[in-house]
Structure 1
Amino acid sequence: LDIVNVALNMYIQGVSPGLDFSNIDAIRATVEYCNQLPVHPRHPYVGDLVYTSFSGSHQDAIKKAFAARKEGDIWDMPYLPIDPKDLGRSYDSVIRVNSQSGKGGIAYLMETEHGVVMPRRLQVEFSGVVQKHTDTHGGEVSADDIWNLFAGSYLDIASPIRYREHHLFEHGEAQGIRLAVDIDGQPCVLTGEGNGPINAAVHAMQTAGFNFSVRSYEERSMVPMGEDGNARACAMVEVATKGGGDLYGIGIDSNIVTASIKALISGVNRLGAASRVAQAA
């Protein structure tokens, strides 16, 4: 008779078994030591993977339920009959990502581990990046692996444009910008005007021959704080070329305007050659 299994079956039905399982891993370690046998990863309540979901549809359901749940609510989660914290477990292993996972699990890890809340279209786009990686390399990807893929796809692209700095100024009723960048390794200063900093930056890059438009724009505060203790902003800009596809650019900075400009440059760099038109001689 598995006392742990029987007792916790009672517990999830609202009947207290009168036993303390608040550190279930210590109990498992004792059992493994005494029996000299490992506990199966999917053993009810105790196994390493018993609270883990790899399925995309399961992850979507769990993510939505966590988002809707308020502190103090009665535990009622899909695919999780018991709160792992009641047994001394964390939520870190609830959602893990492999080739079978969908956008929901990836978005959940990006939000809970790195503070990036992605809009739905960005979730779809980035899940394709992760899917390609898992199809190529196989196995499971950690939250840190996902962040590295995110940074490599959106944050670390510095060609053909590399951001250096910018200065804003007023020109009548318009907002002006002087944008210092490197284009193909050559330093230059672009100037543009618009009805705000973002519009002015778009105009400045268009004058340099980058032909694109902004389809959507979102900005979010990132939680947790940055390593220096300061809040950071994440800007997400969806850009497109005429007749071409849409792509997201991402910028992260302590200043929201700087984050937005970095996001524009990220998007243009990701569009690549499709965004650039020949300059008139």
Structure 2
Amino acid sequence: MPTPKITPKNPAFDFTKYRPFEFAPHLPDRTWCDKRIEKAPIWASVDLRDGNQALIDPMTIEQKLKFFKLLVAVGFKEIEIGFPSAAQVEFDFTRLLIEGGHVPDDVTLQVLVQAREHLIERTFESLKGAKRAIVHVYNSTSRVQRDKVYQLDKDGIKAIAVGGATLLRDIAKRYPETEWIFQYSPESFSQTETDFAVEVCQAVCDVWRPQDGQKVILNLPATVEASTPNLYADQIEYFCRHLPSRKDVIVSLHTHNDRGCGVAASELGVMAGADRVEGTLLGNGERTGNMDILTMAMNLYTQGVDPELDLSQVSEIVQVATDCTNLPVHPRHAYVGELVFTAFSGSHQDAIKKSLDYNEKHPETEQHWDVAYLPIDPVHIGRSYQDVVRINSQSGKGGAAYILQRHYGFDLPRWTQIDFAKVVQNQAESLARELKTDELLDIFTKTYLTQETFKLSDYQINNRGGDVSFNGQIATPTDVLEIIGQGNGALSAFIDGLVKATGKDIHVTNYSEHAINTKATESLLDDELGDNQTNSAAAAYVQLNVAGKVYSGIGVCSSTVSAMLKGVLSALSQSW
């Protein structure tokens, strides 16, 4: 691989062209930083509007309907479905949902519209017959928009907001069969002087009069994320404190991800007093995206807070979302990426294995999830434990041991783990890629269980008052050895016979055994068990010191003694 060329620093990369964020209010007595989120906010999905407008190829009506049904199934009660006055396809989709009976009684449609009369009239037409709907009107209020886009002063901008609010109020009266909820956004709130944002929103409330029963949502967008999340939280807390109509309105957030902190900003904004959060599944949206509702909801879940969304089958949610948007999901995307519950690091794998083993042995003390490197149990969101540990050249002893234990029932003692880890690492390095689970089992089998160097023939073990004798034969590639030995047990008698037959200095340094379920390793054990098929067999782990060097072996058989003897020969074959 050629060495990449590093070009000289681009002189256009000039940080002096930027200035620190200047729109944060003075709030020395802020209270949000001492709070916790103890209840899920009202969630509002904008996948079908914000998310859709950010796609290279916008969704078809069929894809939007499929996505809408997904959002309903997940549990969203407020769904912004589009901008029906902006395009015929958006208008037609709105009519399809209403006339086709696709909107459950407990779900509220939301639509977006600019503060212009003909657009507002068209929007209400699209919603005719809806049981309940949110009409979301907006206009930009930031200094840069006032000065350079609209070229209006603050009074001119406020007049646009008041005019739009008045139109909504008056036109809604033509459709009394629908329960109307009005929503106003001072677009680019994050780059608006907070006092002015309060002034504009209160002027809108003066038109809508929420104190008289008209439901009102004030949505405060970080249209461009321009500050750290704590400063956005200051803006939200200041707004909530100073808005005269605060007790009569729902304060909503709509954060973007330009600085990569959209989720954090919404979390702190809720702590600062907001009631509602708009976002998209997986964070799709303009530029770097909208706030990822799935991530924020799962963050609540990990803290023992009911997210009030059903994310138990997250892989299915991701599949539908990617099918409809044609956008891939990064393998490291929080909670849903292919690799987020996967450990390649040896130390991580070892810690996961030990944590899970501990929890299995102490179920009475483990009432809450507490496993190293796993913030949640993957099973809770429809993922499998096979996702947790995967093997490459960076993996340690714990990873391979975990897979062999979870998938095949082999509980390798530490000294066997160390020995096998070296074999696995060498294989992964030679292939220069990750090893699959079946490949790992194949390596394990060839290394320990199917060695051809020694074959045990018929044998007899006699025990006379604690004096054990062994008499049998083993076949080598070139000879048949008579094994005759004595000891205080079958193992020591067999070793004694091997020492005499081979002339080698052989000592057992470690030994371990356990029962193994043949169902977990049925195909693997067929040859080992022959006609003696039972529900369980024995796995024996033997570590030998042969002429000063240490070797590990494993034997499997329906008989514990035969498994032990095979384990000895497996280890001995490593030295031959």
TM-score if structure 2 supplies the norm length? 0.45
Distance of 1:23 and 1:247 partners within structure 2:
46
TM-superposition CA deviations, 1:197-219 (whole Å, max 9, x none)? 11111122222124112222221
**Given that residues 517 and 535 in structure 2 are in contact (C-alpha distance below 8 angstroms), is that contact kept between their aligned partners in structure 1?**
no
Q: 1:33-79 CA distances to partner (integer Å, 9 max, x unpaired)?
A: 11012222111111111111111121122112111224462012222
Could you tell me how far apart the structure 2 residues matched to 1:35 and 1:135 are? 38
Verify: 1:181 aligned to 2:474, yes or no: yes
Offset, 1:187: 3.7
Structure 2 residue aligned with 1:120: 414
**Partner Cα separation in structure 1 for residue 466 and residue 381 of structure 2:** 61
The gaps in structure 2 that reach 5 residues or longer are 1-278, 280-291, 523-532
Name the aligned partner's letter for residue 38 of structure 1.
Answer: P
Residue by residue over 1:155-185, the C-alpha shift from the partner in whole angstroms, topping out at 9 and shown as x without a partner, is 22221x2222322224565222221221334
Amino acid corresponding to residue 64 of structure 1 in structure 2? K
- 1:116, 1:223 within 8 Å by CA — same for their partners in 2? no
> What is the correspondence of 1:87-98 to structure 2 with a 5 Å cutoff?
87-98=381-392
Secondary structure class of the residue paired with 2:297: helix
Question: Which moved further from structure 2: 251-260 or 233-242?
Answer: 233-242
Contact kept? 1:250, 1:263, Cα under 8 Å:
yes
1:121, CA displacement in angstroms?
1.7
Partners of 1:215 and 1:239 within 8 A in 2: yes
Corresponding residue pairs, total: 270
Deviations 1:109-140 (A, max 9, x none): 12111211122122111111111111111111
Q: Superposed, which structure 2 residues align to 1:220-235 within 5 Å?
A: 220-223=514-517, 225=519, 226-227=521-522, 228-235=533-540
Distance 1:169 1:29, change over 3 A: same
| Alignment partner, residue 77 of structure 2 | none
Instruction: Determine which of 313, 335, 344 is the counterpart of 1:45.
Output: 335
Partners of 2:390 and 2:317 in 1: CA distance: 24
Counterpart of 1:157 (choices 439, 445, 451) is 451
TM-score, length-scaled by structure 1:
0.89
1:81 aligned residue: 375
Q: In 2, distance between residues paired with 1:241 and 1:62?
A: 34
User: Structure 2: which amino acid aligns with 1:265?
Assistant: L
Among candidates 426, 431, 434, match of residue 137 of structure 1: 431
Are the structure 2 counterparts of residues 12 and 235 from structure 1 closer, same or farther at C-alpha, using a change threshold of 3 Å? same
Q: Deviations over 1:241-280 (max 9, x none)?
A: 33x21111211111010011111111221111xxxxxxxx
Q: Distance in 2 between matches of 1:210 and 1:118?
A: 30
Listed one character per residue, the Cα deviations across residues 129-156 of structure 1 (whole Å, up to 9, x for unaligned) are 1111111111111222222112211122
* Contact in 2 for aligned 1:237/1:263 (Cα 8 Å): yes
Distance 1:264 1:117 in 2: 17
Alignment of 1:201 with 2:494, yes or no, is: yes
Looking at structure 1, the residues matched to 416 and 562 of structure 2 have their Cα atoms a distance apart, in angstroms, of: 20
Give the letter aligned to residue 198 of structure 1. Answer: L
Question: 2:541–2:552: 8 Å Cα contact kept in structure 1?
Answer: yes
Is the contact made by 1:179 and 1:201 (CA closer than 8 Å) also made in structure 2? no
Does residue 56 of structure 1 match 2:316?
no
- CA deviation after TM superposition for structure 1 residue 104, in Å: 1.2
Name the amino acid aligned to 1:197. Answer: A
Give the whole-Å Cα distance in 1 for the aligned partners of 2:563 and 2:535. Answer: 14
Alignment CA distance shift 1:52-1:151 (3 Å):
same
Contact 2:537 2:556 in 1 (8 A): yes
**In structure 2, distance between residues paired with 1:180 and 1:230:** 29
> Structure 1 regions of 5+ residues with no counterpart?
273-281
Over 3 Å counting, the alpha-carbon distance change for 1:170 and 1:104 in structure 2 is: closer
Instruction: Give the stretch that moved more between structures: 217-226 or 196-205.
Output: 217-226
Tell me what 2:322 maps to: 32
Aligned residues of 2:466 and 2:489 also touching (Cα < 8 A): no
Q: Which amino acid aligns with 1:165?
A: D
Distance 1:19 1:186, change over 3 A: same
Give the 3 Å change call, closer, same or farther, for CA 224–45 of structure 1 in structure 2: farther
Offset of 1:189 from its aligned partner?
A: 3.7
The answer on whether the counterparts of 1:210 and 1:268 sit within 8 Å (CA) in structure 2 is: no
Equivalent position SS for 1:4: helix
Are 1:109 and 2:399 an aligned pair? Answer: no
CA 1:191 to 1:171, structure 2 compared with 1: closer, same or farther past 3 Å? farther
1:156 & 1:42 partners in 2: Cα distance?
39
Which is further off, 112-121 or 250-259? Answer: 112-121
Of residues 255, 260, 265 in structure 1, which corresponds to 2:569? Answer: 265
Equivalent position SS for 1:92: helix
- Identity within the alignment, %: 37
Q: Which has the larger radius of gyration?
A: 2
SS at match of 2:356: helix
Structure 2 counterpart SS, 1:237: strand
The CA deviation at 1:230 is 2.2
8 A contact 1:165–1:180 mirrored in 2: yes
Show the counterpart of 1:279.
none
RMSD: 1.9
For 1:170 and 1:57, how far apart are their aligned partners in 2? 45
Single out whichever of 232-241 and 93-102 deviates more from structure 2.
232-241
Look up the match of 1:251. Answer: 555
Distance of 1:60 and 1:175 partners within structure 2: 40
Distance in 1 separating the partners of 2:416 and 2:466: 34
CA contact (8 A) 2:482 2:501 kept: no
Q: CA deviation at 1:224?
A: 6.0
CA distance in 1, matches of 2:541, 2:480: 25
Distance 1:236 1:210, change over 3 A: farther
The amino acid that maps onto 1:193 is Q
